[in-house]
Amino acid sequence: MQYGNSSDLYLKIEISEHTEFLKNFEIKIYPLFKHHQSLILKSFDEESLFSTKLNAVLYRKREKKKGETQVSIKGRDFYDLFWYLQRGTKPNISCIEGIKDLEDLKNKLIETVTNTDFNEVEQDIKNFVEDQNIITFIKNNGKAYILEQIEKR
């Protein structure tokens, strides 16, 4: 999504105070070459990044402000979950708070996704995703798709 005529990249960074779960992660260095630009990124490995997203899906909640219509979850976390599941990324279990093993993770994810209102997911992502077909798919089929992907693992 481009804003105006600017070619600037706008990046929002959220820093969590809860980092004790990041015990066993690996830092990787990635070169990025796009649009005649180059950049070196230093980041967690993909498995640990997926695990930070799983922490967000399982534990992050938005508080509803009195008198405002606001979603209680961050739909963007579920949107990112689609991306990781579609890639087949395996989670770094040791970076997920309160999770003993893959079976424990699957059970907690199934419970969380089952209890998620995907109308709220749609409300949160509709201003960030241009393709209305994706938004409609997530709203109508997102829960079933995620649950199917979790069961396959």
Segment 128-141, tens digit of pLDDT:
888 999 999 999 99
The number of residues making up the chain comes to 153
Report d(CA 65, CA 83) in Å as an integer. Answer: 30
How far is Cα 49 from Cα 55, in angstroms, rounded to an integer?
10
Q: Is residue 21 part of a domain?
A: no
Give the N- to C-terminal CA distance of the chain in Å, as an integer: 33
The single-letter code of the amino acid at 58 is: L
| 134 part of a folded domain | yes
pLDDT value of residue 68:
57
Residue 55 lies in a domain: yes
- The reported pTM is 0.77
CB distance 40 to 30 below 8 Å: yes
Residue 11 lies in a domain: no
pLDDT tens string 42-69? 888 899 999 999 999 999 876 666 655 5
pLDDT of 1 reads: 44
Residue 82 lies in domain:
45-62+69-152
Within-domain flag for 119: yes
pLDDT at 3: 47
Domain count, the chain: 1
Beta-strand ranges (E) seen in the chain are 27-34, 37-44
